Structure 1
């Protein structure tokens, strides 16, 4: 990919001109448009700064910054979103484009704006009553579910996925331009695409209506859901910046217990898998969720080796459970982030498990991250070993005091042969690494959508 400047041929147009031009472009809403934020509209023409993490490698990431005026869209509904991303069929989907989100878009609505429900996706042969009866552990055992009910559940899930997961093609910027801009009841996927920018959006509640029972997931089995609010699969050159991610108004803690395990309707908030690479995740707010950021989806997927190069900086992981991030295979730089764990936990709150997961062949460099945790969360709980062998950390703090995370990891796994030598040195940083205390204050003030 050839390096371009963030200000393209059309970038000299003023923010005021863009505000007037976008209102009448194809894909706009017929209703009176909500006021757009001129600062956000101007940022639609920005690309990633030089050296700002792994997404700055190999020419950088600028999304749709070079889009022609006729390829800039302001959208407020799912139907408008899909039409804008596909350019209405008027040009190849990979043509540079800017999609400005001017509402909280409900992805569980049809083209007429009608809200959809489980009944709209449920296969005629499927019922939860029959599913629970068919695969009860007492009679079905530990075998993988198969047969008519599992097949019907899978068909139901496929129908929902086709509706609520929207794919973003190459050379695209998707940016929120109103205070409420974002997506609920579904998510975005960047699959086998490159040069994508995702900014200033609220991602809420990618709720899987048809989770799968896996009796072999852990000693007691688990319910697993499929949808991420944002998923990168086989993607490269992606910048995810100033977004807010959560489960919205439907936390899994409120769900029933079936087969002795609480039903899970949410998967990841931002998962980066299937050989995705050159990704920068900056200034995001991840909150009130369990399995948050997965980098690398399988211990056995050797095609991930040499890929999964990801930078996480100035993000806020706020009351989340685990995977912040959980890494396999990749060269991942985690620096100047803030982790906060509440001192008291309400019934609907997520229970804290760990923060950084050191997985198979992972090569994580952690620098100057700040943890604010209850006294009941010791240093060894901040980082967890998942078959990894190398990890390094410097400058991080726990409740304002220096903490040696490598020593904590080794102490929690005394028989493991661990090394601080991860085999690479981060070199892509737009600004020098700051102290953990300084980063914590700036992240708390500036991370998240619209900030």
Structure 2
């Protein structure tokens, strides 16, 4: 019996052999151990927490109080859908900042393609800083965060794992990490882009992390509904789950990612050579629905994408799934795609300065496909090796990741992803 189960049984007033609860805490079954790369790091989260360090949290104040424990092992049980950034744009807007004035000042037709600077940009940065001070929640090491009630989770903010270790996150909804003051970068993509600051969940230099049975979305504010400013649609959301800055030994399992553009980044820069040897990530049994791209986009990492479902109902909601970035070593197997007619197998991947990719047992709309061969046929003269230089079974047990019933995998994923108390 795990330490976590013992502690929760004790809190519930139960013995290991059964009994009746004498305390208000509901029994939560002990979590399974993670599969994939997080198993290599012995990821336990707050399993060694003493009973006094198990917290039932219903609001932001309770969350902040639990986090003040720092790196001591702790279990945080979330009961509500907590708004991390209440109040809206006017709660954070600097008095000297105006959206209309900003657009007039930095219109490329008059300003050009130089970066914004001056009082208006300074006021935007002050506004952004005010929002960040409220909306960013930093998890310390040796922490387990569990959703224990329907709809439990976080909205309107970013949960950040920055240079921490040994985190377990389960059964939570992460929604609408909305940046009120996105940055205008006039040379991005050649025509300029709006770029936001917040991911719903962000790993930066974090290791031994397990994210399991969670749901990620943009809530009621998808970027496709935002207005056009400075010639481009405003982006108020960044990634749903980004894994960057040398993060390592991470497993993401049984999660649903819903209706987003740039969904998951693994590795932040082609030039960040210090990421070499890190960014070891396993994605298994996740469902990416109507996620246009980056599911994931990989740089440097040894990433195992196994037994996931990628789906879209409209062709405009799909760009590509697996991004093969610089120095990436992406190993794909047993994945399933359910996409509109006309989307061919070569479009399931996109080469983004990468040189190798391997895949086996993929199916597109129920039919077996050879992704690498399809890509090669569609890109004559380009080279993409099937040798990524590693195999998952050399690093951890892969038997439990292989579908026992391949023909039922799609239904199994659809039925099993997301918070189990939703």
1:21-420 equivalences under 5 Å are 21=23, 38=27, 41-43=28-30, 46=31, 48-49=33-34, 52-58=35-41, 60-87=42-69, 93-108=70-85, 115-343=86-314, 351-420=317-386
Instruction: Note the residue ranges of structure 1 that are not aligned, 5 or more in a row.
Output: 24-35, 88-92, 109-114, 346-350
Deviation at 1:11, TM superposition (A): 3.8
Q: Residues 430 and 204 of structure 1: is their aligned pair in 2 closer, same or farther, counting only changes over 3 Å?
A: farther
Q: Residues 154 and 430 of structure 1: is their aligned pair in 2 closer, same or farther, counting only changes over 3 Å?
A: farther
- Say whether 1:442 aligns with 2:412: yes
Mapped to 2, the partners of 1:161 and 1:315 lie a distance apart of: 29
Q: Residues 344 and 293 of structure 1: is their aligned pair in 2 closer, same or farther, counting only changes over 3 Å?
A: closer
Q: Residues 22 and 149 of structure 1: is their aligned pair in 2 closer, same or farther, counting only changes over 3 Å?
A: farther
CA contact (8 A) 1:357 1:384 kept: yes
Mapped to 1, the partners of 2:112 and 2:23 lie a distance apart of: 61
CA contact (8 A) 1:74 1:100 kept: yes
Deviation at 1:415, TM superposition (A): 2.8
Mapped to 1, the partners of 2:242 and 2:74 lie a distance apart of: 24
Deviation at 1:22, TM superposition (A): 6.5
TM-score of the pair, normalised by structure 1: 0.87
CA contact (8 A) 2:12 2:24 kept: no
Deviation at 1:438, TM superposition (A): 2.9
Deviation at 1:165, TM superposition (A): 1.1
CA contact (8 A) 2:67 2:139 kept: yes
- Say whether 1:431 aligns with 2:400: yes
| Root mean square deviation of aligned Cα | 1.8
Give the 4+ runs in structure 1 shifted more than 6 A: none
Deviation at 1:218, TM superposition (A): 0.8
Q: Report what 2:17 is aligned to.
A: none
1:345-398 CA-to-partner distances (Å, cap 9, x unmatched) read 6xxxxx321100000000000001000011121111110010000000000000
TM-score of the pair, normalised by structure 2: 0.93
1:192-214 CA-to-partner distances (Å, cap 9, x unmatched) read 00000000001110000001111
Mapped to 2, the partners of 1:431 and 1:316 lie a distance apart of: 18
CA contact (8 A) 1:318 1:340 kept: yes
Mapped to 2, the partners of 1:150 and 1:413 lie a distance apart of: 43
Greater strand fraction, Structure 1 or Structure 2: 2
CA contact (8 A) 2:320 2:350 kept: yes
Deviation at 1:9, TM superposition (A): 9.0
Q: Residues 438 and 7 of structure 1: is their aligned pair in 2 closer, same or farther, counting only changes over 3 Å?
A: farther
Mapped to 2, the partners of 1:47 and 1:69 lie a distance apart of: 20
Which has the higher mean CA deviation after the structures are superposed, 153-162 or 380-389?
Answer: 153-162
